[in-house]
Structure 1
Amino acid sequence: MAAQEYTEAWLTGPQETAIYTRTYLPPTPKAAIVFIHGFAEHVGRYTHFHPLLAKKDIAVFAIDQRGFGLTALDTQGKKSKSSSWGKTCWVHQMDDINWAINHAKEKFKDIPLFLMGHSMGGGEVLGFATQEEHPHKSAISLLSGLIATSPLITQASPAPKFLTWIGGKVSILAPYTIIPADVKAEDPLIKQSGSLKGISDMLTKGGELIRSSFKRWPKTLPLLVVHGTGDKVTSYESSQTFVDSITADSKKLSLYEGGYHELQNEPDGVKERLAEEIIGFVNANLSQAAAAPASSSESDAAKPNL
């Protein structure tokens, strides 16, 4: 690829939200990935990683999620007046993913499309594929596979259930009240906080993945989940439970022994190994046509005892 490895664009998403996007476009792409980042971060944190995929002819379309990154904090007058830090919720996140998939399919008409998310974004993409009475069924049918790295299903050290319950109740009354959040990063586009609604939805919907939502996994949608066993943020055991519980023709959990939360930032060849694993998954599913989501009836998989 040339020195300018990505192009930037502000696009109008759902609810007339101005969304900051980056596109990594190789000369002859054979597939494309829609990428959803994690809590409080932004696509600029993947400038070193997404080119590893693009150099193997996989295009990447990445967005700064509403409530985060430039979509929330732009100082050049391009963001929506209604956008602010932490102002997000599960329903809007699902709408935004649906929009991103459809935009990417229009942009990359004739190549297979994959959906990928990290951490909170990993939980979101798993949730997107397992929505009850799926409102975005047509977007799922456009996907050839789904990838989740270190997905937030449950936290590695969960908050007490009582505090989570209280937070959920308070978020109904004051959804976008900002509260402190333990985010360790020296980055001008990252704040050490989130909204009550955003955090409550993130934790509640993540937990639902192993309590009930797993039953609605589209059987013919291939899945790759990658998680480090040393992750101190999200639980790799919950990733194991989810993958074990879904009924899918093709599914894989890849555990990196001792790996931490951001495998894409680890040294000693770990991020390269991660990139190669993603590339291998894409190559293996280039001819895959995802079927529409299964009905909301229960699958034969046993409900995990959690």
Structure 2
Amino acid sequence: MASTTSASRLQTFTEEWLPGWDGLNFYTRTYTPADGAPRAVVLFVHGFAEYIGRYEWAHGVYATRGIAVVAFDQRGFGLTAMGDSAHVSKASKYGKTSWRNQFADIDWWLRHVRDRFPGVPVFLMGHSMGGGLSLGFATRTSPPPAPDGVAHLSGVIASSPLILLTHPSSRILRFLGWLASFVLPSFVIPAPVNPDHLSHDLAINAANAKDPLCPQSGSVKGVNDMLNGGEELFRNSYKNWPKELPLYMVHGTGDEVTSCKASEEFCEKVVADDKTFVPVEGGFHELANETPGGMKDRYVDGCIAWILEHVETTPLTQL
């Protein structure tokens, strides 16, 4: 384990390399309130072909409002896959992942969060691919969810989740991808996203396009699971949502990457006692980087407000 502390513009975070359930070494960041006594803690799951360092500003805001954030570069992405040789596991490779392993990772890190912040309400939050994974984690039946995984959550936040693509690929390509996932699961293929579709901030979009930790590609297995998993969520798995688990979904209406309409329909179909869908008018895919009219501030403020509202109503059985 390696640990360092860095100062962001808003808050200090701790960097650590920690082993997961199968021994794979993960790069992690933990943001904590200055007084060290968080009212809630968020486990954050990032999106496809990116990494947690891109959320430093937003996670710093959470910490200043009394909410701790634990985030990890997912297996196959970010520094977990492309960091220095002193820390990256030999078994780690860019794009080498699957929904089965990613679900196991989320469950593992939720246990880590509860051990590190005992008695503090825990929320699972994901963006884009991570949003789809967060929704899938709460609804999956195979492999079955661990009782202390979903049952101990105080809520789920899905930001621009990948349920369906705004512009889906052809059925023939999808079928070929499905076949290839059995033969060459770790083979890396192009998966380009127009950087101008990420946000209205052209400087951030340009930086993303040049960022070596954001290659526009993924493994055949990882991409196939991501797309098929989202479609399964939309068609069937939504029926498995636990009625007592609060859900907050937020999506930009101008998102050209993941479908805002699919998110709205998913939220409508889910049988949850407490569910909220927030459309951000004109927002692109990365709401945390949006600029028009203070959009990113409203996005972060809305997520924080929802969390703090549910901290007060968290059943004692979930703590």
Q: CA deviation at 1:136?
A: 2.1
The equivalences for 1:194-233 within 5 A come to 194-233=218-257
* Native 8 Å contact 1:29 1:57 kept in 2: yes
- TM-score, length of structure 2 as denominator length: 0.89
Whole-Å separation in 2 of the counterparts to 1:180 and 1:123: 20
Q: Which residue of 1 aligns with 2:191?
A: 181
* Native 8 Å contact 2:41 2:68 kept in 1: yes
Whole-Å separation in 2 of the counterparts to 1:157 and 1:79: 35
Q: CA deviation at 1:233?
A: 0.2
Secondary structure in 1 matching 2:238: helix
Q: CA deviation at 1:204?
A: 0.1
* Native 8 Å contact 2:7 2:13 kept in 1: no
Whole-Å separation in 1 of the counterparts to 2:175 and 2:94: 23
Secondary structure in 1 matching 2:167: coil
Provide closer, same or farther for how the CA distance between residues 172 and 290 of structure 1 changes in structure 2, counting only shifts above 3 A.
Answer: farther
1:172-205, CA deviations, whole angstroms, 9 ceiling, x for partnerless residues? 0110001011143221211121000000000000
The equivalences for 1:1-306 within 5 A come to 5-26=12-33, 27=35, 28-132=37-141, 134-183=144-193, 184=195, 185-267=209-291, 268-286=293-311, 287-289=313-315
Secondary structure in 1 matching 2:278: strand
Q: CA deviation at 1:290?
A: 9.3
Aligned partner letter, 2:314: Q
Whole-Å separation in 2 of the counterparts to 1:271 and 1:258: 12
Q: CA RMSD in A?
A: 1.6
Whole-Å separation in 1 of the counterparts to 2:175 and 2:21: 29
* Native 8 Å contact 1:116 1:147 kept in 2: yes
Aligned partner letter, 1:242: F
Q: Which residue of 1 aligns with 2:204?
A: none
* Native 8 Å contact 2:31 2:63 kept in 1: yes
* Native 8 Å contact 2:163 2:259 kept in 1: yes
In the alignment, structure 2 segments of 5+ residues that lack a partner are 1-5, 196-208
Identity of aligned residues (%): 47
Q: CA deviation at 1:279?
A: 1.0
More deviation, 98-107/132-141: 132-141
- Give the total of aligned pairs: 292
Aligned partner letter, 2:115: E
Aligned partner letter, 1:85: Y
Whole-Å separation in 2 of the counterparts to 1:136 and 1:90: 15
Aligned partner letter, 2:306: F
Higher helix share: 2
1:10-69, CA deviations, whole angstroms, 9 ceiling, x for partnerless residues? 111022110110000112210000000000100000011111111100000000000000
Whole-Å separation in 1 of the counterparts to 2:248 and 2:317: 17
Aligned partner letter, 1:180: P
- TM-score, length of structure 1 as denominator length: 0.92
1:119-161, CA deviations, whole angstroms, 9 ceiling, x for partnerless residues? 0000000000000152323211111000000000000000011
Secondary structure in 1 matching 2:155: strand
Q: Which residue of 2 aligns with 1:304?
A: none
Secondary structure in 1 matching 2:124: strand
Provide closer, same or farther for how the CA distance between residues 172 and 2 of structure 1 changes in structure 2, counting only shifts above 3 A.
Answer: closer
Secondary structure in 1 matching 2:22: helix
1:69-123, CA deviations, whole angstroms, 9 ceiling, x for partnerless residues? 0000012420110001000001000000001111001101021100000000000
Provide closer, same or farther for how the CA distance between residues 2 and 280 of structure 1 changes in structure 2, counting only shifts above 3 A.
Answer: same
